[in-house]
């Protein structure tokens, strides 16, 4: 078995793993990033980026280059509620980037990896599926991965598991997350967008269905929230019935819904949220969805994974350079990130209970909506929590 040595081995090339790799490589720290897929292509896996991510990219001096990639800026969300229409204005966030930015996630990842590749301490292995941990003296000291039928080993001072919601690393380490919300399903699809369509993000709800519509420039990305396990019944009723449900929700788009003629144009994904009690063990740190799976409500998972990555780099860069990473450092990462994560997951859970569940059960509840509609400060808190997080995170170390 071929083996190589690095300072930090990161498992998972999603937003969290990619940003952490870039931050460490910039500071002259040897880092190896392992990604099981052979490309970054992924459909419907979160393309909405909030202000906090743009601020971090700006701090890296890369914002102008990032904005060369096709993207859309969204300045408000219009929520259709039983208490009437509520507008959430992202301008309420005090930021240089008071908007949502939608960018194809695969383009974003390619951009970050291309930037990281400029640093000689960065090593990136695609098509590398981690299958086991390397452990010695009750300490994780690397991983084994499979690539092209062969097995390899990476030994490292610290291993960071950034391998997402279905984390293999969690299972390998015997860590069990605590489930926080009842899972629901989301049906994802896209329809063309016309220049006369609204710019803002919006939702519509009616008869046990809720549809979120995200402006992606030339198309609308649409996510329909449904009760867990009801997709087979929707399919059984046929695609025309599905088109009709959509047309009742957004009548002005009904001609375009007719373009959905095959279930292959549609993806179904489970939405749930959970969190590990302890995000680390000797030699191993969990970040992003691997530590705290985020529901797509509010589209915050990328922010929080990237903020974890920034804090991880802030805390670990120096001890990695000096060769003295300890449990104290890993505990500090969890401490710095846990409260923000608990708050946003609590907020997501509240949104699910107050907004999504009543709609899916066809029980209109206006209390929460009335409060949000009435109080600007409440809308401001909602927008800030989602856009920047409870606590702003900034990169602390400078590149070598």
Ligand X SMILES: Cc1cc2nc3c(=O)[nH]c(=O)nc-3n(C[C@H](O)[C@H](O)[C@H](O)COP(=O)(O)OP(=O)(O)OC[C@H]3O[C@@H](n4cnc5c(N)ncnc54)[C@H](O)[C@@H]3O)c2cc1C
Binding residues (CB under 6 A) for ligand X: these are 11-17, 34-37, 44-48, 128-130, 162-165, 168, 186, 188, 269, 288-290, 294, 296, 299-303, 305
Query: Which residues have CB under 8 Å from 345's CB, separation 6+?
Result: 180, 273, 275, 292, 294, 295
Q: Give the residue with the Cβ less far from ligand X, 21 or 249.
A: 21
The CA angle 231-234-238, to the nearest 5 degrees, is 135
Give me the least distance between CB of 83 and ligand X, in Å please.
25
Give me the least distance between CB of 277 and ligand X, in Å please.
18
Residue nearest to ligand X (CB): 301
Q: Give the residue with the Cβ less far from ligand X, 142 or 296.
A: 296
Give me the least distance between CB of 47 and ligand X, in Å please.
5
Give me the least distance between CB of 103 and ligand X, in Å please.
10
Torsion on CA atoms 279, 282, 285, 291, rounded to nearest 10: -20
Give me the least distance between CB of 4 and ligand X, in Å please.
16
Q: Give the residue with the Cβ less far from ligand X, 44 or 347.
A: 44
Q: Give the residue with the Cβ less far from ligand X, 142 or 164.
A: 164
Q: What is the CA radius of gyration of the chain?
A: 21
Give me the least distance between CB of 172 and ligand X, in Å please.
9
Burial label, 275 (beta-carbon count in 10 A; 0-12, 13-18, 19+): middle
Using alpha carbons, select from 164, 179, 181 the residue that is nearest to residue 288.
164
φ/ψ of residue 360, rounded to 5: -65, -30
C-alpha to C-alpha distance for 8 and 329, rounded to whole angstroms: 14
The token pair that represents 245 in the structure block: 């449900």
User: For the chain, how many residues are written?
Assistant: 400
Q: Give the residue with the Cβ less far from ligand X, 32 or 314.
A: 32
Instruction: Identify the bridge partners of residue 274 per DSSP, sorted by sequence position.
Output: 179
Q: Give the residue with the Cβ less far from ligand X, 321 or 390.
A: 390
């Amino acid at each position: 078995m071929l083996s190589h040595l690095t300072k930090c081995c990161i498992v998972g090339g999603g937003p969290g793993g990619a940003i952490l790799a870039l931050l460490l490589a910039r500071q002259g720290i040897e880092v190896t990033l392992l990604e099981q897929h052979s490309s970054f292509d992924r459909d419907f896996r979160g393309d909405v980026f909030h202000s906090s991510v743009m601020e971090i990219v700006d701090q890296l001096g890369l914002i102008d280059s990032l904005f060369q990639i096709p993207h859309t800026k969204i300045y408000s969300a219009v929520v259709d509620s039983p208490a009437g229409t509520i507008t959430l204005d992202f301008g309420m966030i005090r930021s240089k980037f008071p908007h949502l930015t939608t960018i194809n996630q695969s383009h974003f990842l390619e951009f970050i990896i291309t930037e990281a590749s400029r640093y000689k301490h960065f090593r990136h292995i695609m098509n590398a599926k981690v299958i086991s941990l390397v452990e010695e003296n009750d300490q994780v000291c690397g991983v084994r991965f499979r690539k092209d039928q062969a097995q390899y080993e990476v030994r490292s001072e610290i291993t960071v598991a950034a391998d997402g919601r279905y984390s293999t690393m969690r299972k390998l380490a015997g860590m069990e997350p605590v489930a926080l919300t009842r899972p629901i399903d989301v049906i994802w699809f896209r329809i063309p967008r016309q220049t006369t369509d609204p710019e803002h993000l919006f939702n519509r709800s009616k008869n046990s269905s809720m549809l979120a519509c995200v402006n992606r420039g030339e198309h609308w990305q649409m996510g329909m929230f449904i009760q867990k396990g009801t997709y087979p019944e929707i399919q059984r009723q046929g695609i025309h019935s599905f088109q009709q449900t959509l047309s009742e929700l957004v009548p002005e788009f009904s001609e375009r819904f007719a373009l959905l003629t095959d279930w292959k144009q549609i993806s179904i994904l489970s939405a749930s949220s959970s969190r590990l009690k302890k995000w680390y063990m000797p030699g191993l740190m969990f970040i992003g969805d691997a530590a705290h799976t985020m529901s797509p409500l509010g589209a915050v998972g990328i922010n929080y994974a990237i903020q974890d990555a920034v804090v991880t780099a802030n805390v670990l860069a120096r001890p990695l350079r000096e060769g003295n990473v300890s449990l104290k450092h890993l505990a500090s990462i969890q401490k710095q990130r846990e409260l923000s994560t608990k708050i946003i997951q609590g907020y997501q859970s509240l949104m699910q209970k107050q907004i999504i569940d009543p709609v899916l059960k066809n029980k209109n509840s206006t209390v929460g909506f009335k409060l949000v509609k009435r109080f600007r400060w409440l809308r401001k808190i909602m927008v800030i929590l989602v856009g920047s997080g409870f606590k702003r995170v900034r990169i602390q170390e400078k590149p070598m």
